Amino acid sequence: MFDLAIHGRVYAGELAEAWVSIKDGVIVKVSSEPAGRAAATLELDDAQILIPAATDLHVHLRDWTQAEKETVETGTKSALAGGVTTVADMPNTVPKLETGELVEARVQLLKDRSFVDFAIHAAPPAESAELRKIRRAGAFALKLYPPDLPSFRGLLKRAGSEGLKMAVHAEDEKMLAAGRSPEAELVAVRKILGEVGPRSQVRFAHLSTSEAAHAVLAKKQSHAGLTIEVAPHHLFMDSRTSMARIGEASRVNPQLRSQANSRAMRGLLKEGCFDFYATDHAPHTLKDKLTKGAPGFPGLELALPLFLTKTEDVPLLCRMFCEAPAAYLGTRKGKISPGYCADLVVLSRRRWRVDPEKFVSKARVTPFVGEELRFAVDQVLMRGSTVYREGGFVRHPALLAR
Ligand code: NCD
Ligand code: ZN
């Protein structure tokens, strides 16, 4: 007997009516007829579809000394409200995540408090001997910031030999002082591309310009381990629109670009040129945004409905936000298929307006304020159990992906 059967319109390679049968947290059958008796049944309505839950490779959960910006609890509840059941946390915490001991503390904090499964990026340590401890403590990757890029080649080699992946924030540090121009990204991307080998595994975080994307795409033909991550705000927002809506709070790294650039980025998106859709959920208080120019926006609650509203492309969303990032982390998630984890999202076609005051995240500033979206997350399941529904959350044990 199954624990749960879900019946309705399901995305399992194509969108079609199906029965999804679940036992012990795992999808065991996807069929056009009921596969057998189930202890419970979830019947979707005509406006609803079932898709795999998302994996967000780029999230800043803060907490520790920055709990006023976000905590693991608020950040991961925000993830669930957006249909995300795995997040990869970023290491620019305070203190910065650059030792095995701190990675261990971070893993423990997330095990205790997170509402979703997680993976951890570490920062490059002062001594390369620390890399092994960082890996053993549970980090899966190193994240390099602009000041780390001069050491890129050495770090790539040493991280690789410890089994750590690598993600880079590609903007040239020296050029950033003169304003964050699109060229600063292109220069850094070209420098990195000049230093990778044919088997290097390097993920370009939040690429913001079509020029930089074209440079990576050209190299990818012979270097299959290069991957591109893109953020919602570089695809679906531009600097002028954001300035008109939220003024100086528009700051984000890399910056928002021109309308022509975001149009070009959407062209590449549609052609399937990008590997991962990731939020760069970077929460700040309104005060820090306005008085310190703190860069970044919350993205977890909007990313999925926004993508579908702007593209209407369920297969592309499921590939870039569910299947590919889960495969990258090595989790059995992101597909509605036998043997995959029953982490699922019930979406509905329903109109709602972005009101940051209603966010679960502590961060309330977004350039998408006031936009009407046409898809909404109704319910989220993790391992076959409902963990989010109508604003209510249930915490399940959070697992580390490594
Ligand atoms: C990041 C943050 O707030 O942690 N902000 C951002 O705009 N992406 C840090 C950064 O990348 O500068
Ligand atoms: Zn970031």
Based on the number of CB atoms within 10 Å of its own CB, is 35 exposed (0-12), middle (13-18) or buried (19 or more)?
Answer: middle
What was the pLDDT predicted at 177?
84
Written as six digits, the tokens of 385 are 């159990």
Backbone angles phi, psi at 355, to 5 degrees: -125, 100
- DSSP class of residue 319 equals I
Based on the number of CB atoms within 10 Å of its own CB, is 372 exposed (0-12), middle (13-18) or buried (19 or more)?
Answer: exposed
What was the pLDDT predicted at 101?
98
What was the pLDDT predicted at 179?
81
Domains of the chain: 4-46 (no CATH), 53-332 (3.20.20.140)
Active site residue 343: no
| Amino acid, res. 191 | K
What was the pLDDT predicted at 327?
98
What was the pLDDT predicted at 374?
98
What are the mean pLDDT values of the chain's consecutive 10-residue runs (402 residues total)? 98 98 98 97 98 99 98 98 99 98 98 99 97 98 98 97 98 90 97 96 98 98 98 98 97 98 98 98 97 97 98 98 98 98 98 98 98 98 97 97 96
Other beta carbons less than 10 A from residue 41's beta carbon: 13
What was the pLDDT predicted at 109?
98
Over residues 309-320, the pLDDT tens digits come to 999 999 999 999
> Residue 82: which of 324, 331, 393, 325 has the closest Cα?
393
What was the pLDDT predicted at 266?
98
CA of 163 from ligand 2 middle (Å) equals 22
Q: What is the secondary structure of 276-311 as a DSSP string?
A: EE---B----HHHHHHS-------TTTHHHHHHHHH
**Ligand 1, atom 4, residue with closest C-alpha:** 282
Helix (H, G, I), strand (E, B) or coil at 38: strand
What was the pLDDT predicted at 296?
98
What was the pLDDT predicted at 183?
96
Q: Do residues 143 and 90 touch, judged by C-beta distance below 8 A?
A: yes
Ligand nearest to the CA of 280: 2
Q: Do residues 167 and 141 touch, judged by C-beta distance below 8 A?
A: yes
Query: pTM value?
Result: 0.98
HSE toward the beta carbon, residue 261, CA cutoff 13 A? 21
Q: What is the C-alpha separation between 397 and 402, in angstroms, rounded?
A: 16
Q: Do residues 213 and 268 touch, judged by C-beta distance below 8 A?
A: yes
Does 169 sit in the ligand 1 pocket, CB within 6 Å?
A: yes
By most ligand atoms within 8 Å of CB, the mutation choice from 253, 256, 285, 288 for ligand 1 is 253
